[in-house]
Amino acid sequence: MVERHMKDLSSKQKTLLSKNAAIFDYGGVMSFSPLWRVQLLADAMEVPKEIFAKIIFGGSHSDPDNPWHEAECGRQRLDKSFAEQMQQRLTPYGATFDLDFFLPWVAEAKNDPDPAMIGIVKELRTAGHRLALLTNAVQEFRPVIEKTVPIHELFDVIVDSSEVGMRKPDKEIYDLTSQMLGVESGQCLMIDDLVANVEGAEKAGMQGLLFTSSDETATNIRKLFNLNSGREK
């Protein structure tokens, strides 16, 4: 799947030069991937990482029965009722859900910004392109985002799933983002580190770019938006 997106890149570069807007994911794009921290959580609750991630965070596609997905849509807080639902999911594995550990794990997370991605966003802004941050996040995580990346300085539009009641990869959130940017979906490039979210953007009529590494992704964005001409002087 990753190979398909990379092979498609060169064949679509010409059409992408007409793009007016770029949309960036947060975790794994604007900040370094936080997924390594899932291991800490799984260890604390004594559940194998792969099982824990599936039970707690679910799959990519929205599931109204998953409390985490509901939290990402702003319909569930990380409170006692959340803990009770998660405990039901963990009980068959003989594990205990510890809200006192989980809540700080989310709300006090330590993220590191990706300098290469911040740099490319600044280049796009200087070149006059419209910019959006589109993230699946729970309400309790928003302060972490704002402490890690100067999102209000970098982006024209910020779409936080917990504020708009929808999440990636649902088509509606991509439609909303392009509307807020004031451009057609076909004029948008979505950069994300998850294949499902890139494909969701493509189904919504956008161009998708799968994040691979910081330097490679920044290079690809420069090519797609023809930013290299301004650097080669």
Classify 104 as helix, strand or coil.
Answer: helix
Tell me phi and psi for residue 211, to 5 degrees. -65, 130
Rounded to 10 degrees, the C-alpha dihedral 52/76/152/132 comes to 70
Q: Strand order of the sheet with strand 188-192?
A: 157-160, 130-135, 21-24, 188-192, 207-210
Residues 223, 227, 229, CA angle at the centre, nearest 5°?
100
The alpha carbon of residue 39 and the mean position of all alpha carbons in its chain are separated, in whole angstroms, by 19
DSSP one-letter string for 29-82: TTB---TTHHHHHHHHTT--HHHHHHHHH--SS--TT-HHHHHHTTS--SSHHH
The tens-digit pLDDT sequence of the chain (233 residues) is 444 454 455 444 444 445 699 999 999 999 998 777 888 888 888 888 888 888 899 988 899 999 999 999 999 999 999 999 999 999 998 888 999 999 999 998 888 999 999 999 999 999 999 999 999 999 999 999 999 999 999 999 999 999 999 999 999 999 999 999 999 999 999 999 999 999 999 999 999 999 999 999 999 999 999 997 545 43
Which CATH class name applies to 2-33+111-231? Answer: alpha beta
With a CB cutoff of 8 Å and minimum separation 6, the contacts of 40 are 105
Residues 144 and 167: their CA atoms lie apart, in Å, by 19
Residues 40 and 43: their CA atoms lie apart, in Å, by 5
Domain boundaries along the sequence of the chain? 2-33+111-231, 37-107
Question: What is the DSSP secondary structure assignment for residue 11, as one 8-state letter?
Answer: H
Residues 60, 31, 152, CA angle at the centre, nearest 5°?
100
State pTM to two decimals: 0.89
